[in-house]
Amino acid sequence: MSTSQLPPFVGMGWAMANRDHVRFVDCRWSLDGSQGRAQYLAGHLPGAVFADLDADLAGPASVTAGRHPLPDPDDFALAMQRLGIHDDTPVVAYDTAGGGIAARLVWMLRILGHPAAVLAYRDGDVGSVLEDGDVDVAAGSFSPRPWPQSAIATIDEVAAAAAAGTVVVDARDGVRHRGEREPVDARPGRIPGSRNLPWTENVVRGRLDDDGAVRARFEALDVDESSIMACGSGVTACHNALAMEAVGLPRPRVFVGSYSAWAADPQRPVDTGAHDA
């Protein structure tokens, strides 16, 4: 496998064999704050740099754009430069959440045509290779590029798509999709008509499930090239989008504002309870 033609997911064996030719990016983050830079400093893959979801992979949160909107292209380029990433640097991103956070960076890079992959690994794969402390790298020369609108769905496009029967897939867990619990967004529930495929169902002990099993889950929802991925704030939706790409299905658009933007607009209806389809 060429480092310039990375698939959406790679394993630890490949990553360590190519460690001198890729940039490892640690993307650890959690809603409760238990994962982040402190954990990175305590132990990370050799040479890995740290990307913060809120500061590096998202713009300022807002009612209309959601909790994790895409950053301005210039700001994203500066973040990638700080991490020592050039226009041709293959990136392998990881976290401790099965790739759910790392997928955001990988999706952002891949829609720009940049080689990037999620490191899919089990805890036992890491062994004794970790190092601690910060990693100083020379600045990269990553060029600012506009976000391709063909990869992104707006809130109005999502509303129109859902009303027309286009499949909108919500990557949140079933409890949140049914509106039984909502720890962070304005209202419990879901985008009306959206289907639920928690991104975690495609991960088995840290690694992407068998291609056939992943494909079957998406095909059971009747996804196609017009489908849209959503989640809470446009992060784990990226994992579902990459999983589709990994098994040969068309990479769908992502609704970056996701439920955080939808629920914040009181004019947008929400559904609760079990999906009726």
Per-residue tokens: 202: 């495609």
Angle, vertex CA 247, rays to CA 175 and CA 176, nearest 5: 10
Torsion of CA 176, 211, 119, 33, to 10 degrees: 10
Q: Which residues are known to be catalytic?
A: 231
**CA dist list (Å): 211 to 103, 115, 217:** 17, 21, 10
Per-residue tokens: 123: 């805890």
Range list of H helices, the chain? 12-17, 37-42, 53-56, 73-82, 102-111, 123-126, 155-163, 174-177, 211-219, 236-246, 258-264
Please identify which residue in the block is written with the tokens 């559904």. 271
